[in-house]
Amino acid sequence: MQTPRTPPRFVPTLTEVVQNEPVSSPMSPPEPVAPAAFVPALSQLSAESDPTAEPKAMLDVVATETLEDQIIHRVMQRVDLSLEQRLQQAVSAMVLAQTQLLVPRLREEIEFVVRQSVSDAVADELATRNPR
């Protein structure tokens, strides 16, 4: 029988077990939730609403929820745009810095290759001119 392997250090592991506590009353099935973008029609509001509630108050609640959804959507669009621009700037700066660090090493490597190529070419030329 094999012993279990130790996972890599960056893989999350379960450290404790949480037990569900028994519920004293039976759970009722969850009620369906309307999508956030759903706005009920005025006829539905009046049919479902409490007859004592004012229709204007219900419309204000719906208008407020719609306004909140619109504001959240706009803010998320701006955050996405801002985040994309900032990430692009950060990545560009990092690539530039890494490229500048590579320049001296590349020059050394190119110099070595050119010297070796010239040396080999001169040696070949001298060998063809002075046969032994």
pLDDT at 67: 87
Question: Which residue has better confidence, 83 or 27?
Answer: 83
The residue-averaged pLDDT of 47-51 equals 51
Choose the weakest-confidence range: 1-5, 9-13, 23-27, 75-79.
23-27
Question: Which residue has better confidence, 122 or 64?
Answer: 122
Q: What integer best gives the mean pLDDT of the chain?
A: 77
CA distances from 62 to 24, 49, 59 (A): 36, 12, 5
Cβ partners under 8 Å of residue 62, min gap 6: 39, 40, 45
The answer to whether residue 40 is domain-embedded is no
Model confidence at 92: pLDDT above 90: yes
Model confidence at 28: pLDDT above 60: no
The answer to whether residue 125 is domain-embedded is yes
Q: Which domain holds residue 100?
A: 54-129
Matching residue, tokens 């040696």: 123
Model confidence at 128: pLDDT above 80: yes
Question: Can you tell me the distance from the alpha carbon of 122 to that of 115, in angstroms, rounded to the nearest whole number?
Answer: 11
Cβ partners under 8 Å of residue 51, min gap 6: none
Structural domain total, the chain: 1
How many beta carbons lie within 10 A of that of residue 104, not counting itself?
9
The answer to whether residue 113 is domain-embedded is yes
Torsion over CA: 72, 70, 63, 34 (sign): negative
Question: Which residue has better confidence, 85 or 22?
Answer: 85
pLDDT at 96: 94
